[in-house]
Amino acid sequence: MQKIVIEGGVPLHGEVQISGAKNAVLPILCATLLADGPVEIGNVPHLHDVVTTAKLLGELGAGITIDEGTIEFDGRRRKGSGIVVDPRSVRSHIAPYELVKTMRASILVLGPLLAKYGAAEVSLPGGCAIGSRPVDLHIKAMQALGAEVTVEHGFIKASAARLRGAVVRFDVVSVGATENALMAASLAAGTTVIENAALEPEIVDLADCLIALGADIEGAGTSQIVIRGVERLRGGTHSVLPDRIETGTFLVAAAMTGGRITTLKSRPDTLHAVLELLQETGAVIETQDDRITLDMRGRRPRAVSFSTAPHPAFPTDMQAQFMAMNCIADGVGTIAETIFENRFMHVQELQRLGADIHIDGHTATVHGIAQLSGAPVMATDLRASASLVLAGLVAEGETIIDRIYHLDRGYENIEEKLSGLGARIRRVSA
Ligand code: UD1
């Protein structure tokens, strides 16, 4: 079992290159199932969840080629790793429990399999243990498009000779259910209108990929998306957008340590709420094209209060990192988590480092203290792990983080990237 060991106390300085977005590449990989030819995806991050999705597509019969070198996009050779998925050999429509249980995003094969092959059997998902995460909205969307759906023996079983365009209205904003509806509707007969759609940049990236394959989609990034179904989607290419959560995590690391860093290959326009809150902590932020520079000028951050909410408001995937910052900030910060229940599992571990946090229902109150003290801690979910790394960067002495496989699901080479910024961090095999 691998662990991460951090010796805190070094202000971060330098430049860090941001990887492709986990939450964009996973639906895009699933969308390749809709195509009639090979789909080449660029700017693919090296993440455990990407490997799991590639395995799942392979299990369904798709051909997978991983290119670690340069890859051609828009007629130009670019650096970065790519994956080519050839869906023409897909023979199965069953997503088995063994793979789905490790990654909730596997539910995203439901819409593509159903739309392309007329049938899908997808195990009920597992993934991060951050509260009950139902799949009812995914199922309702498929039913609205004309599918027969049952849930038996732990599997969602869906079938339809051909999906029919319809109005799909969500009562709760869901990123995954919007993506499943978008993918399925692309090959449905007639026009689909998704109402109360999620607005996340990853939805826009998925739509851009589908459009590159021949889909007819308007309004992605707004609450109403109109999809005119087409007979077929062709093969093509797409480059994944930069990861806004990874970007935000590095910026918080710089702010906590009093440092100055620049993120490269990032997308400042996808991070408004995060950048605003960082400015409230006292950080000086400048953006230019694909770069964000944060300068804390050696100061201690001021505590901030915020609520999580769907995009463009403050993302739940940055909640744990900002909580880590509040732990060492000047003042008291209140954090309300409105998206997921039980997404405060990092609190107990942060308390082991000396943090002063009180939970009352969905709200956490953090009294900033001058110094955390390093200790052995355990990662519980993906973003919780990130918050422990951040806390370790400022804690006095050594912090040892166990169960870092959670971290590897969503952060590419985090210890290498942080070492590049001066952090004393290493991975050890225990
Ligand atoms: C995606 C992101 C995850 C992020 C989350 C919210 C991916 C791979 N993961 O997860 O990192 O934290 O968005 O920004 O993109 N819900 C239902 N029924 C459903 C589906 C969802 O009630 O069928 C509820 C959930 O319990 C939650 C809320 O809707 O309370 C939002 O969840 P959703 O947007 O669907 O999250 P994911 O797509 O799973």
DSSP per residue over 285-332, as a string?
A: EEEETTEEEEE-TTPPPBP--EE--STTS--GGGHHHHHHHHHTSBSE
Q: Give nearest CA residue, ligand 1 atom 2.
A: 23
**Burial code of 7-16, b = ≥16 C-beta within 10 A, e = fewer?**
bbebbbeeeb
d(CA 221, CA 227): 13
Q: What pLDDT is stored for residue 11 in this prediction?
A: 98
Q: How far is CA 376 from CA 160, 185, 350, 353, 428, in A?
A: 52, 48, 11, 8, 13
Task: Say if residues 108 and 27 touch (Cβ distance below 8 Å).
Answer: yes
Which residue in this structure is represented by tokens 């004309």? 146
253: pLDDT strictly greater than 60: yes
Contact 32, 62 (CB under 8 A): yes
295-306 pLDDT, tens per residue? 999 999 999 999
| Atom 22 of ligand 1, residue of closest alpha carbon | 134
Do residues 388 and 349 make contact, with C-beta atoms less than 8 angstroms apart? yes
Adjacent-strand bridge partners of 120: 158
Q: Ligand 1, atom 29: nearest CA belongs to which residue?
A: 174
What does the mean pLDDT of the chain come to? 94
For the chain, the distance separating the N- and C-terminal CA atoms, rounded to the nearest angstrom, is 6
125-139, 280-294, 370-384 — which one is most confidently predicted on average?
280-294
| pLDDT of the residue at 74 | 44
Q: Name the residue among 148, 146, 189, 149 with its Cα closest to residue 168.
A: 146
Using N-to-C axis directions, what is the helix angle for 136-144 and 175-186, rounded to 10°?
Answer: 20
Name the CA dihedral angle for 196, 197, 200, 205, rounded to a multiple of 10 degrees: -160
- Predicted confidence (pLDDT) at residue 72 exceeds the cutoff of 70: no
Q: Between 124 and 328, where is the model more confident?
A: 328
Give the rounded percent of residues in the chain with a pLDDT score beyond 90.
87
Which pair of tokens denotes residue 247? Answer: 């970007």
pLDDT of 220-252, one tens digit each?
A: 999 999 999 999 999 999 999 999 999 999 999
> Which residue has a Cα nearest atom 37 of ligand 1?
176
The pTM (predicted TM-score) of the whole model is 0.95
Distance, CA 372 to ligand 1 centroid (Å)? 32
Which is the closest atom of ligand 1 to the Cα of 104? 39
CA–CA dist 322, 274 (Å, integer): 9
Tokens representing residue 99 in the block: 């793979």
Find the mean pLDDT for residues 414-423: 97
pLDDT at 255: 98
* Ligand 1 neighbour 105 (Cβ under 6 A): yes
Q: Which atom of ligand 1 is least distant from the CA of 175?
A: 34
Contact 248, 321 (CB under 8 A): yes
The one-letter amino acid code at 258 reads G
Give 373 Cα–ligand 1 centroid separation in angstroms: 34
Contact (Cβ atoms closer than 8 angstroms) between residue 401 and residue 424: no
What is the per-residue pLDDT across 154-171, written as a single tens digit (0 to 9) for each?
899 999 999 999 999 999
Residue 20's nearest CA partner among 213, 257, 262, 270 is 270
Single-letter amino acid, residue 129: A
DSSP string, 321-373: HHHHHHHTSBSEEEEE--S-TT--THHHHHHHTT-EEEEETTEEEEE--S--B
Q: Is the CB of 317 under 6 A from ligand 1?
A: yes
pLDDT at 73 over 60: no
Pocket test for ligand 1, best of 103, 174, 319 (most atoms within 8 A of CB): 174
Number of residues that make up the chain: 430
Report the amino acid identity of residue 275: L
Residue 81 has a pLDDT of 81
Residue 129: per-residue pLDDT: 52
- Which residues, in sequence order, are CB contacts of 293 under 8 Å at separation 6+? 260, 261, 262, 285, 286, 287
| 128 assigned to active site | yes
**Strand 2-7, strand 167-169: pairing:** unpaired
Three-class secondary structure of residue 330 per DSSP: strand
Please give the distance, rounded to the nearest whole angstrom, from the Cα atom of residue 312 to the centre of ligand 1: 15
Tell me the three state secondary structure of residue 121. Answer: strand
Cα–Cα distance for residue pair 355/102, rounded to 1 Å: 30
What is the number of other CB atoms lying within 10 angstroms of the CB of residue 204?
Answer: 18
